[in-house]
Amino acid sequence: MAKRDYYEILGLSRDAAGSEIKKAYRRLAMKYHPDRNPDDDGSEELFKEASEAYEILSDDERRAAYDRFGHAGVDASAGMGAGFGSSTFSDIFSDVFGDIFAGARTRTSSYRGGDLRYTLDLDLEQAVRGDTIEINVPTLGACEECKGSGARAGTERSACPDCGGAGQIRVAQGFFSLQQTCPRCRGQGQIIRDPCRSCGGQGRIERSRTLAVKVPSGVDTGDRIRLAGEGEAGLGGGPPGDLYVQISVSEHPIFEREGKHLYCDVPISFVDAALGGELEVPTLDGKVMLKIPEGTQSGRLFRLRGKGVSPVRGGSTGDLLCRVAVETPVKLSAEQKAILGQLRETLQAGGRRHSPKEVSWFEGVKDFFDSLRS
C-alpha cells in the first residue's frame, strides 16, 4: 500500500515553517495517541503515521531529500537516507512536548522555611499607647553543627545516583517517556550519605527563641505585625520564613473601643441629672471634669474630643464618648421616702411638663390605639 504524502498527513502546505510542523504534529499526537483511544486500532495507525511524518519533516536534511525524491529519498530499503525509527519516539516526544514539562525539570536542594503565627494578648492601654514586649516562640531553627545542610560537619551532600542530580527520572509509558520526581532524593537531586548526628540529616532542630516585638500605638484586634526572617529555618540552607504576630486586645473594665473612639458608662444620681453639676470621669490620660447640664436624661452621650485612640495607620485621634446612666436610689430611709413622696406630689401638681419623654410616649401609645380602632 502506497504511503500518504507527509504534508497531507499533517495537513500542511509544502512551504510550512518548522513551528507549524511541530504544532500540527502536537495536535494530531494528542488526538490519536493510543492511551486516549484504547479500543481504536485505527487511531494507533494514524498516530504512527503522524509521528513518521513529523520525524522526516522536522529534520532539514531528510525534509530536503523527501521534497526532491519523495518517499524514496527517505526510505532505508531504497538505500537513500534513514527510515523511520532511526531515533526513538522518546526523542520526538521530548522535542515536541518538552516545553510543557520544562518547569518540572528545574529542582533545588534548598527550600524556604515555613511561616509562623503567634497570638499576642494586649490590654487596652498597651494597644493604644504601644509597647515593646518579649515573646518566646517555639520553632525549627537551623542546626548549628551542620549549618542547616543536614550533612555531618566536614562532609557534603552528593548527587543522587538514581537521577544524576536532576531530581527527575524518565518513566516509559507506552509511546511516551514521562518525567517524574525521583523517589530517592524526592526531587532535590542530592542525597546525604553521612547525616548530621545533631539533627539526623534534617538540617533543623526544635528550639525556643526570645524575640522583642515592638507594638505600634493604635493597634487593634486582628492587626498583624510581620517579623521578616523570624519563622522556621529553611531546608537545605534555604531562607527562613516569617513570623506573623496576631494582635488580640482584651476587654477593658471601663472602656469599650469601636475603631478610634472609646465609650464608657458614667452613672449619676437622679438628683445630679435633674439639677446638673460636674462629675469626675476617667480617660486613658487621667481624670477630667465633665459638666452635666440640668435635666440630663439617661443614655445621653457627652463627647470628649481627642481622648480616644490615634489610629495605627494615621489620621485624626478619636474621641471619648461618655454615656450617662441615671441611677435609681435604693435602700431609702423613712425620711428619704417621705421627701421623695412630697417631691412626687409637687411634680404631679405641675402636670407632665416635668417629664417630656413621658408625654411623648403616652401620645405615641394613644396614636397607636387610635389607628387600631380606625
Domain-wise residue ranges, the chain: 6-105, 107-154+197-250, 158-191, 256-328, 337-373
pLDDT for residue 68 is more than 80: yes
Architecture per CATH, domain 107-154+197-250, reads as: Sandwich (2.60)
Residue 76 has a pLDDT of 54
For the chain, the average pLDDT equals 82
For 135-162, what is each residue's pLDDT tens digit?
999 888 888 888 777 888 888 888 888 8
Same fold, 107-154+197-250 and 256-328: yes
Cell numbers describing residue 51: 509521528
User: Over the stretch 4-45, which tens digit does the pLDDT of each residue have?
Assistant: 889 998 898 988 888 888 888 888 888 887 767 777 778 888
What residues contact residue 149 under an 8 Å CB cut-off, 6+ apart? 156, 157, 196, 203, 236, 237
pLDDT tops 80 at residue 98? no
Q: Which fold has domain 256-328?
A: HSP40/DNAj peptide-binding domain (2.60.260)
Q: Please answer whether residues 309 and 257 qualify as being in contact, where contact means their C-beta atoms are separated by less than 8 angstroms.
A: yes
Give the pLDDT confidence score for residue 365 in this predicted structure. Answer: 72
Question: Which range has highest mean pLDDT (86-90, 101-105, 120-124, 340-344)?
Answer: 120-124
Q: What is the pTM of this model?
A: 0.57
Question: Nearest-CA neighbor of 22 among 96, 85, 100?
Answer: 96
Q: Say what percent of the chain tops pLDDT 90.
A: 32
Model pLDDT, residue 188: 76
Which DSSP string corresponds to 11-49?
T--TT--HHHHHHHHHHHHHHH-TTT-TT-HHHHHHHHH
Lowest mean pLDDT across 68-77, 170-179, 181-190:
170-179
Of 98-112, 189-203, 303-317, give the range with the top mean pLDDT. Answer: 303-317
Give the CATH number of domain 6-105.
1.10.287.110
106 CB-near residues (< 8 Å, 6+ apart): none
Task: Look at residue 186 in the predicted model and tell me its pLDDT.
Answer: 75
